[in-house]
Amino acid sequence: MKQFEQSALLNALPDQFFAALSRKVTEYAAMGHDVINLGQGNPDQPTPEHIVASLKEAADRPDFHKYPPFQGQGFLKEAAAAFYKREYDVDLDPQTEIAILFGGKAGLVELPMCLMNEGEYMLVPDPGYPDYWSGAAMAKVKMDYMPLVEEKQFLPDYEEIGQERLDRAKLLLLNYPNNPTGAQATSAFFDETVQHARKHDLCVVHDFAYGGIGFDGQKPPSFLQSEGAKDIGVELYTLSKTYNMAGWRVAFLAGNQSVISAVNLLQDHLYVSLFSAIQQAAATALTESQDCVIELSDRYERRRNALVNACQKIGWKVTAPAGSFFAWLPVPKPYTSVEFSNLLLEKVHVVTAPGIGFGAYGEGYVRVGLLTDEERLEEAIQRIGTLHLFADE
């Protein structure tokens, strides 16, 4: 059979670092080992019943069996605007300041293609979500990495980035609560970001994927709450994490009208929007009772506490995450993040995600997901404790 060559665009895409890890996990599970997988980012709870019921009801509507409007149902955009007004006191025009997305990942990949030209620069966090790199590769643009270090609360330092790099960049990408570090941003940091964006003519994209998951009574702030944020940027909100709807592939972009218009234009050529029944279920999630969101965040906080307490018992000095459903744990010497992850999988059958997979500044850490119950998290850390890797144990 003839083998057709892939395009130069596909060949330029970054390697999927975690694909090899996933294959290795599958191999160990196939050998009969009891593998505790803390390396994934897939929510483990079902979608709340009232959202599923809304989908079932909507699926019976014959008018929803047709193509939806190209740029999404107006009722979902209105629900998204109502959500932002209720949760963050941010006013949004449903028609001009909200775009419906096929999941947050699609929007993140699309944005550089919508706003940038080949060879231009975008500022991206390091460590950061690897699909940011995919968007840069698809748009044929260059990435300029912003170090996120613990000494600075995993926030980029604009003074260290410098005037020249800020002037050169066209797009600035942020993500808080942060994947992989679990750090939160402050309203003051977002205010500072708006000021720099204005000064250096930057478009800010804030990935707010974990906006519904904050701990210790601290609700994660929205970037759009900062004065002038809509003038210079957008915020991406996905229902995957807040409402356990990862498989539903529904998200939205909110903010600057010109960015919304650009995304809608690109999507007009790619999609005919989401199945209308999913859009109705998403509107239900955004506008009806938010008790499920509170319960979910509380669940993750209990898991976080169980994990941190278990780490302390084996002498593993860790910092508790402030949000998201991830913990960012330091690797003991003399291991690299890959060596440490391999050791845990091979010796005690615990899966973690090596920090280097999220960027150069991820080296020295592993990411752990809070996506199993407290007992399994505690068991995972107890297994790690049997390796006697921590001096204070």
174-204: pLDDT as tens digits: 999 999 999 999 999 999 999 999 999 999 9
| Mean pLDDT computed over every residue of the chain | 95
310-358: pLDDT as tens digits: 999 999 999 999 999 999 999 999 999 999 999 999 999 999 999 999 9
The yes-or-no verdict on residue 366 having pLDDT over 60 is yes
Domains identified in the chain and CATH numbers: 8-47+292-385 (3.90.1150.10), 49-287 (3.40.640.10)
Q: What is the 3-state secondary structure (H, E, C) of the chain?
A: CCCCCCCHHHHCCCCCHHHHHHHHHHHHHHCCCCCEECCCCCCCCCCCHHHHHHHHHHHCCHHHHCCCCCCCCHHHHHHHHHHHHHHHCCCCCCCCCEEEECHHHHHHHHHHHHHCCCCCEEEEEECCCCHHHHHHHHHCCEEEEEECCHHHCCCCCHHHHCHHHHHHEEEEEEECCCCCCCCCCCHHHHHHHHHHHHHHCCEEEEECCCCCCECCCCCCCCHHHCCCHHHHEEEEEEHHHHCCCHHHCCEEEEECHHHHHHHHHHHHHHCCCCCHHHHHHHHHHHHCCCHHHHHHHHHHHHHHHHHHHHHHHCCCCCCCCCECCEEEEECCCCCCHHHHHHHHHHHHCEECEEHHHHCHHHCCEEEEECCCCHHHHHHHHHHHHCCCCCCCC
pLDDT of residue 393: 45
pLDDT average, residue stretch 57-83: 96
pTM metric for this prediction: 0.95
pLDDT of residue 181: 97
2-27: pLDDT as tens digits: 889 999 988 888 877 777 777 888 88
127-152: pLDDT as tens digits: 999 889 999 999 999 999 999 999 99
